Homo-oligomer: A and B are copies of this chain.
Amino acid sequence: MRVAILAHEKFPDRAKTALGVLRYTDDDVVAVLDRDSAGQRVNDFVPDVQDAPIREGMADLAADDVDTLLIGIAPIGGGFDESWREDVRTALEYGCDVVSGLHYFLAEDEEIAALAAENDCEIRDVRKPPEDLTVSQGVAGEVDAEIILTVGTDCSVGKMTVSMELARDAREAGHDAAVIPTGQTGIMIEGWGNPIDRVVSDFTAGAVEEMILEKGDEHDYLFVEGQGSIVHPAYSAVTCGILHGSMADKLVLCHDAGRKEIHGYESFSLPDLSTYVDLYEGLAAPVADSEVVAGALNTSSLDDDDAAREAVDAYASALDVPASDAIRFGTDDLLAELL
């Protein structure tokens, strides 16, 4: 599939979804759309992901060169920016499908829905949960697969990335591993999954369990994409539901080097790492024996490799488990503990 990724005015630093897709998709990215950086290339900004030209808009692509337009940014609140409408319109006139993770559902937009019908295109709102979700039965632990969940000290510390890196490297090492996607980017990359942050709160754990029951006897390892943090003032409910719904065997604690306060909620300091370990393990314990067995540190804020290595070593020693920056230093040390 040939994909264009819309990331106007936000690529790369504020385009988490675009970047995740560029890093992990098996599809062919034919262009990133960003009117601020048009004319440059993805690799001018980010070296270690799939390269693609950056273009002004869909009209700069030929209709024959692209199959799907993917919305690769998500403003706070998840609304649709009207400045993107022309690109969506053009994509549909080209006959492209449109994939979006916005809270604003494109399939319910009158003009977009009509154009999609007219041109026989599919609109996939990946943030829209399926209708048939329900409460957890508390049985995810019964599947054959070993369940490995990424948990975090905060939002945006790399849980999705670590889950993807671990699953990919485990597969490359010959293991049968799959990802359980729980957020929009993971769902776009994997092509399936439940958007856990958008389900009815009573069904949070159940929506995770349902995916694990579906895949759990087909694979040896399931890497569950975690969300938020268990002490996040706004999002802890989602984290807690994933923890209990997944009944994980092993936890990988993800952290961003240098993060001291909760992102966007800076009046709240992050507690000690040992507090996170105690809370995640203690909260899981009545439901499942989940243990923090590895740590993943995002050192992208550190330019110097030696400083990054030192930070990882300090993180490993604080947690008393193997640790790595999965992107910078690879996953060998983590997988040795996990598989």
Shortest A178–chain B CB gap in Å is 23
Inter-subunit contact B231/A236 (CB<8 Å): no
CB within 8 Å of B: which A278-295 residues: 278-279, 282-283, 285-287
Binds B, one of A81-89, A264-272, A302-310, A323-331: A264-272
A74 part of interface (Cβ distance < 8 Å):
no
Interface-located stretch among A22-30, A105-113, A192-200? A192-200
Cβ proximity bits A133-155 to B, threshold 8 Å, 1 near / 0 not: 01111100000000000000000
- Any chain B CB within 8 A of the CB of A235? yes
Cross-chain contact B271 with A204 (CB below 8 angstroms): no
With A and B bound together, what is the CA distance between A96 and B335 in angstroms? 64
| Interfacial chain B residues near A269, Cβ < 8 Å | 286
Residues of B within 8 A of A203 (CB): 201
A232 interfacial by beta-carbon distance below 8 Å: yes
A282 to B274, CA, bound (A): 12
User: CA A198 – CA B236 in complex, angstroms?
Assistant: 16
Docked-complex contact A236 and B241, CB < 8 angstroms: yes
Report if A212 contacts B (CB, 8 A). Answer: no
Interface size on A (CB < 8 Å)? 47
User: Which residues of chain A from 192 to 241 have a CB within 8 Å of any chain B CB?
Assistant: 196-206, 230-241
A202 touching B77 in the complex, CB below 8 Å, given contacts A267-B138, A287-B268: no
Given contacts A205-B236, A240-B240, A267-B138, A230 and B200 within 8 Å (CB-CB): no
In the complex, chain B residues whose CB is within 8 Å of the CB of A271: 285-286
Please report A residues at the B interface, Cβ cutoff 8 Å.
77, 134-138, 196-206, 230-241, 243-245, 247, 265, 267-271, 275, 278-279, 282-283, 285-287
Question: Besides the contacts A205-B234, A270-B286, what 10 more A-B pairs have beta carbons closer than 8 Å?
Answer: A138-B234, A198-B200, A201-B201, A231-B287, A233-B245, A236-B240, A237-B244, A239-B240, A271-B286, A279-B279
